[in-house]
A and B are shown apart, each in its own frame.
Chain A
Amino acid sequence: MTEKDSRGLEAGKSGKLRDTLTAVAVIAFGGAVWAGAQSFPHLSIQGTIGPDFWPRMVAGGLIGFGIILLVMAVSGTTAPLEVDQVNPSQRLPMVLAFGIIVVYLFAWPRVGFLPTTIVAFLLLSRLFGIGKWWQALLWCMVLTLISWGLFKQLLGVPL
């Protein structure tokens, strides 16, 4: 087997695994919706149309198409993904960016909009790649003031 063949085979294997796990997740999600619908009353007015009917139909669709996707994934007939390549050096910064936003949302109602926004977006701007600290600080100050002015002053939103 040539090296080219082995690289292609590897790419195919990881795509198969990804689609298989995706299919399992879809089936699990469908199963969760079905299980949740079990607790809804099976009321009927004239037929058997209660609040559990539609969620069960949707869950059935998810499970059914999830199984189809699983079969396609295992047999290797799923369409190849056409997405931009992930830059490996951006994985950790992306997770950190998400973490900063989460902490920001916890801190905002407790500390206040202005200080938390300035700090969070200073860190975020640096993480996103704005070169120097003073540039990031200037940018986040501008952004914070614009959003404060627009939402709080103009639209009356209680930030």
Chain B
Amino acid sequence: MGAVVQGFAALANVHVLIGILIGCVVGMLVGIFPGITATMSVAIASSFTLALPPQQGLAILLSIWIAAMYGDRIPAILVNTPGTPASIATTFDGYPLAQQGKAALALAISTVCSAVGAVFGIAVFAFLSFPLAEFALNFGPAEFFALVLFGLTMMATISSGSLVKGLIAGLIGLAFATVGLDPILGFPRFTFGVLQLQSGIGFIPFIIGLFGIAEVLEQFLTHSPQNQGVATQLGRWFPTKEERKQILKPLLIGSVTGALIGTIPAAGGDIAGLISWDQAKRLSKHPEEFGKGSIEGLSAADTANTSVVGGALTTTLALGIPGDSVTAIFLGSLLIWGLNPGPNLFQDNPTLIYTIVGILLIATAFLFVLSLIRIQGVAKLLSLPRPLLWSGIVLFCVVGTFAVQNSFLDVWIMLGAGVLGLVLRRLGFSPGPVVLGLLLGPLAESNLRRTLIISNGSFDIFLTSPIAMLLFAISAIALITSFVRSRRQRKQTDPKPEPEE
């Protein structure tokens, strides 16, 4: 009980509250502008927040993340363009509703559903993370290695179009993670005599380049004029009694689906929204309305893509395995602050967990109010030219990276990662597994080597661990089903040859 009180008492700090406010405003803007992803903005913000105490830094980062999930519905509904990938499913019914002159109704329903989803996810995090962390105390090096492998496999199978490319991307990240001092014996590897590289490739500079610079370069490379019009007829805000009834079932579906999917490494708001929309359609009495302005469809999608936040944080903090790219950045930031995510965090620093719960609840409440404010002016923001955003993002990437350690080497690493990110994207590789590989590489190596030292070099030790074998089995099943699914999809989409005349 003391930890709960102390955790919430930390929120009485005015700097934490200001951090939440700043994070919410920045996150809303990030969500509103398509092309600026939550991952990019959290990556850039992480360089700013390193100088702050953990509570203030987390207040900013978490608020940006959850606010981006609110803001991204606006362009999805008004312009049929998801503000972040998490709002892809919102476009299915949000934009058709806007075209029917019900944009304000869609935004209001979306606000309520997002708030409910967020609170549900936060509750899952508050109640599930401690038991999960306690269970994880049973994990030894073998189990942690299996868990890391599971995380990398899930990321590779879920986030990439091609399974083989996803696995290669993960291995590229693992290869970069070998730069620096070997985690067991401290031997310098791939440092090329550069002293700064002994601490490894900087995580923050790398992700800023991979998600910030690469994104800008790709948008610039593929830029063409936008054709979608902005829906300007907002219509009424308040739903009728019948419409309010329609929201209830998809609200439940979205909450549970989102929280569950969030716990799976690599599965983020985009997947949660899509699966929830699909499930709601299956269980609806009017599935024919989905995709044409269904309130049920909109509700399910938007509830899931905020509920996912709590699920992802549960896995990240309790097990030390990131739920998606954004939580990977949180994990990196926590490590820099000297806080090690995983079971020990819950034993050594339980008040921080409740502080995080409090931050998320306050941010959700603030965003709920902010989102209900009439947003006619926001439609004008959506027509801001991209070139203005691009140059601003590049400058903040460069200066933000320099600010991490006042090092130009970091900035060069960022630029290199930006080029790598662009090349990987153009060749069909997802950057997510690369980030996960970079972050989890040292954990994977140290746990594997410790395991093998204990067993005197024998891999049979894994057979004696039921948890490790279960995780290996799930990883193998995920790989096989992903392979079979992609083969089936290829057979369905391969065009039949035309008959010769």
Residues of A in contact with B (beta carbons under 8 Å apart): 1-2, 4-5, 8, 18, 22, 26, 29-30, 33, 36-37, 40-41, 43, 45-51, 53-55, 58-59, 61-62, 65-66, 68-69, 72, 77-79, 81-87, 90-91, 93-94, 97-98, 101-102, 104-105, 108-109, 117, 121, 124-125, 128-130, 139-140, 143-144, 147, 151, 155, 157-159
Question: Is the CB–CB distance between B165 and A101 below 8 Å?
Answer: no
Q: Can you show 8 pairs from A to B with CB atoms below 8 A apart?
A: A36-B189, A51-B187, A54-B445, A68-B164, A83-B426, A98-B419, A121-B394, A139-B388
B269 CB, min distance to chain A CBs, angstroms: 20
Q: Which residues of A contact B379 (CB under 8 A)?
A: none
State in angstroms the CA–CA spacing of A159 and B169 once bound together. Answer: 35
State in angstroms the CA–CA spacing of A66 and B161 once bound together. Answer: 16
Residue B168 at the A interface, CB < 8 A?
yes
Question: Is the CB–CB distance between A143 and B395 below 8 Å?
Answer: yes
Question: Is the CB–CB distance between A81 and B411 below 8 Å?
Answer: no
State in angstroms the CA–CA spacing of A124 and B425 once bound together. Answer: 23
Question: Is the CB–CB distance between A130 and B387 below 8 Å?
Answer: yes
Given contacts A8-B495, A55-B178, A82-B161, contact A147 B396 (CB under 8 A): yes
Residue B223 at the A interface, CB < 8 A?
yes
A53 CB, min distance to chain B CBs, angstroms: 7
Q: Which residues of A contact B382 (CB under 8 A)?
A: none
**Sorted from nearest, which 8 A-B pairs have the closest CB atoms?**
A47-B457, A128-B387, A51-B182, A84-B222, A51-B187, A129-B387, A54-B445, A157-B403
Contact with A along B401-413 (1 / 0, CB 8 A): 0110010100110
A62 CB, min distance to chain B CBs, angstroms: 5
Given contacts A54-B449, A130-B385, 7 further A-B contacts (CB under 8 A): A29-B175, A49-B452, A61-B167, A65-B164, A83-B425, A124-B394, A130-B388
A88 CB, min distance to chain B CBs, angstroms: 10
B381 CB, min distance to chain A CBs, angstroms: 16
State in angstroms the CA–CA spacing of A45 and B115 once bound together. Answer: 54
State in angstroms the CA–CA spacing of A30 and B172 once bound together. Answer: 9
Question: Is the CB–CB distance between B457 and A48 below 8 Å?
Answer: yes
Question: Is the CB–CB distance between B217 and A69 below 8 Å?
Answer: no
Question: Is the CB–CB distance between A78 and B162 below 8 Å?
Answer: yes
A90 CB, min distance to chain B CBs, angstroms: 5
Residue B391 at the A interface, CB < 8 A?
yes
Given contacts A65-B164, A69-B164, A87-B224, contact A105 B412 (CB under 8 A): yes
Q: Which residues of B contact A55 (CB under 8 A)?
A: 175, 178, 189-190
Q: Which residues of A contact B217 (CB under 8 A)?
A: 94, 97-98
Residue B390 at the A interface, CB < 8 A?
yes
Question: Is the CB–CB distance between A157 and B406 below 8 Å?
Answer: yes
Question: Is the CB–CB distance between B167 and A65 below 8 Å?
Answer: yes
Contact with A along B167-189 (1 / 0, CB 8 A): 11001101100100010110101
Question: Is the CB–CB distance between A18 and B427 below 8 Å?
Answer: yes
State in angstroms the CA–CA spacing of A93 and B449 once bound together. Answer: 48
Q: Which residues of B contact A155 (CB under 8 A)?
A: 48, 51, 403
Q: Which residues of B contact A2 (CB under 8 A)?
A: 498
Contact with A along B430-467 (1 / 0, CB 8 A): 00000000000000110011001101110000000000
Given contacts A40-B189, A61-B171, A147-B399, contact A91 B428 (CB under 8 A): no
Q: Which residues of A contact B171 (CB under 8 A)?
A: 30, 58, 61-62, 65
Contact with A along B197-223 (1 / 0, CB 8 A): 000000000000000000001101111
Question: Is the CB–CB distance between B457 and A46 below 8 Å?
Answer: yes
B466 CB, min distance to chain A CBs, angstroms: 24
Q: Which residues of B contact A91 (CB under 8 A)?
A: 221
Q: Which residues of A contact B165 (CB under 8 A)?
A: 69
A71 CB, min distance to chain B CBs, angstroms: 10
Contact with A along B113-143 (1 / 0, CB 8 A): 0000000000000000000000000000000
Q: Which residues of A contact B162 (CB under 8 A)?
A: 78-79
| Complex: chain B residue closest to A59, CB-CB | B175
State in angstroms the CA–CA spacing of A101 and B223 once bound together. Answer: 19
The contact of A90 among B48, B222, B427, by CB within 8 Å, is B222
| Complex: chain A residue closest to B489, CB-CB | A79
The contact of B498 among A5, A36, A102, A125, by CB within 8 Å, is A5
Question: Is the CB–CB distance between A22 and B220 below 8 Å?
Answer: no
Question: Is the CB–CB distance between B221 and A94 below 8 Å?
Answer: yes
Given contacts A83-B428, A94-B217, contact A158 B406 (CB under 8 A): yes
Question: Is the CB–CB distance between A46 and B167 below 8 Å?
Answer: no
Which has the most chain B C-beta neighbours within 10 Å: A5, A54, A101, A129? A54
Contact with A along B256-290 (1 / 0, CB 8 A): 00000000000000000000000000000000000
Question: Is the CB–CB distance between A101 and B221 below 8 Å?
Answer: no
State in angstroms the CA–CA spacing of A33 and B190 once bound together. Answer: 9
Question: Is the CB–CB distance between A101 and B388 below 8 Å?
Answer: no
Residue B36 at the A interface, CB < 8 A?
no
Q: Which residues of B contact A157 (CB under 8 A)?
A: 399, 402-403, 406
B377 CB, min distance to chain A CBs, angstroms: 20
Q: Which residues of B contact A159 (CB under 8 A)?
A: 399, 402
Q: Which residues of A contact B386 (CB under 8 A)?
A: 128-129
The contact of A128 among B391, B403, B425, B495, by CB within 8 Å, is B391
| Complex: chain A residue closest to B165, CB-CB | A69
Q: Which residues of A contact B444 (CB under 8 A)?
A: 54
Question: Is the CB–CB distance between B190 and A43 below 8 Å?
Answer: no
Question: Is the CB–CB distance between A101 and B391 below 8 Å?
Answer: no
